[in-house]
Amino acid sequence: MQIPQQPRKGKTSFSPNIISPARILVIGFASIIFLGAFLLTLPVATVDGQGLPFVDALFTATSATCVTGLVVVDTGTTFTLFGQLTILAMIQVGGLGFMTFATLVTLLLGRKISLRQRILIQESMNQINLEGMVRLVKNVVLFTFIFETAGAILLALRWSFDYDWSHALYLGIFHAISSFNNAGFDILGGFKSMTGYVSDPVINIVIMLLVISGGIGFIVIAELVELRKRKKLSMHTKVVLTASAFLILIGAFVIFSIEYNNPKTMGPLSWTGKILSAFFQSVVARTEGMNSLPIGDLHQASLFFIIILMFIGASPGSTGGGIKTTTFMTLLGAVWAMIRGEGDVVFFRQRVDEDKVYKALTITMASVLLVISVTMILCITEKQSEFLTILFETTSAFGTVGLSMGLTPHLTMFGKILLSIVMFAGRVGPLTVAFALSWDRKKRRFRYSEGKIMIG
């Protein structure tokens, strides 16, 4: 029997969602992108004094704010110091979330954080509980400062052997911020990224540690820091650490095995270079777009495997994108539970709520449909490009990774706009964008009678 819903007096279905958290997050990120795009069109932003064309500026601003790293022009040679610092600012704000900065400014002004702001922080950081949001923001800022400062110093010390101190320090700061926020932008020039340092242990290890730290999520970092006091880790942290370690190891093994004798990638490298490059590409494939091996020269099997890693992405509450490691693990857990005839998804002797399983399935299906649809459209508009190249670029945009096979600089105007939308959806989240665009999300107060359907 259907129970009719009574409308609230003086309210319409339009008004409750006008300023919903999802809508505010979408508007906030979009505002940062358009502001950054405007700044990059200014003559002072580019070396040639012409400024970027608006579509290129919009693509670059979206890539920076959504911490992706896909570029249509070379960052190191196209932009002036003003342009590069503008990109760096967008990376920092986009990586941590504009609500984190808004809350920080509010705290610095000595004002109280309202309940509305706490809800927005909870939504932007993808947290379960509302409690401790202000403390979380303070920890996020503190952890970010510590990791980025340490990374900048170590990278600057290494680059001081190749450049003068001032330039080495600038390189260290830029790449530390870019790496920790999983952005993938570099200013070494020539679209070469870290290929010139493929066997350098300092560059590789420091960047990998920054990428991993930014990709596991701030809640996980906080729990690890407080482990002595807490004496135990939550199921979320255990799942994130397990999934991250597994994906890094299996990724390094697969890439090492396939590329070992490839004369264009690992073939000429020493054993140290082969191992470092395998782990480096495995780490950055899920979250960050720097590369130490030429991506276009990898075997197709390696490229397809990297596409899978990019689609999975980083962890919730982090600076990375993708469907997230916890979503991937929840789906694996659901498959395993079904095979064993069990009713619950269980990790570390704890049950995953059924709603989370549905959410994981919804996120994955929405993401698959988005990537497939955009890939099909780009196969029509980018006629000179191969299918695998287009799929790789689209998945990289969705996962906010930034790895490229070289297609992005040659995209049509339509292709640039479409991939900008994909990067935006990948950073904010497909469900958040859907919630922001929906006007009425009321839950039914009744259930339909059960029907029968054949599965499998």
Residue 379 lies in a domain: yes
Residue 404 lies in a domain: yes
Helix (H, G, I), strand (E, B) or coil at 79: strand
Residue 169 lies in a domain: yes
Stretch 42-65: mean pLDDT:
94
Residue numbers of the domain that contains 365: 20-436
Please give the residue that has the higher pLDDT: either 231 or 110. Answer: 231
Residue 194 lies in a domain: yes
Residue 7 lies in a domain: no
Residue 449 lies in a domain: no
- pLDDT of 200: 95
Exposed e or buried b per residue across 394-419, where buried means at least 16 C-beta atoms within 10 angstroms of its C-beta: bbbbbbbbbbbbebbeebeeebbebb
Residue 452 lies in a domain: no
Stretch 444-448: mean pLDDT:
70
The string of pLDDT tens digits covering residues 213-228 is: 988 888 888 888 888 7
Q: How many domains does the chain have?
A: 1
Residues 359/363/365/370 CA torsion (nearest 10 deg): 160
pLDDT over 60 at 1, yes or no: no
Residue 447 lies in a domain: no
Please give the residue that has the higher pLDDT: either 211 or 232. Answer: 211
**Lowest mean pLDDT across 100-109, 137-146, 162-171:** 100-109
Number of H helices, E strands in the chain: 19, 2
Average pLDDT, the chain: 85
The string of pLDDT tens digits covering residues 117-139 is: 666 666 656 666 656 667 777 77
Lookup result for tokens 């693509």: 59
| CA of residue 306 relative to chain centroid, distance | 15
What residues contact residue 143 under an 8 Å CB cut-off, 6+ apart?
Answer: 218, 221, 222, 225
Question: Are 308 and 399 in contact, with CB atoms under 8 Å apart?
Answer: no
* Beta strands, E only, 308-352: 345-347, 350-352
Q: Return the amino acid letter for 377.
A: I
Stretch 426-443: mean pLDDT:
66
Whole-model pTM: value is 0.87
Helix (H) or strand (E) holding 140: helix 133-159
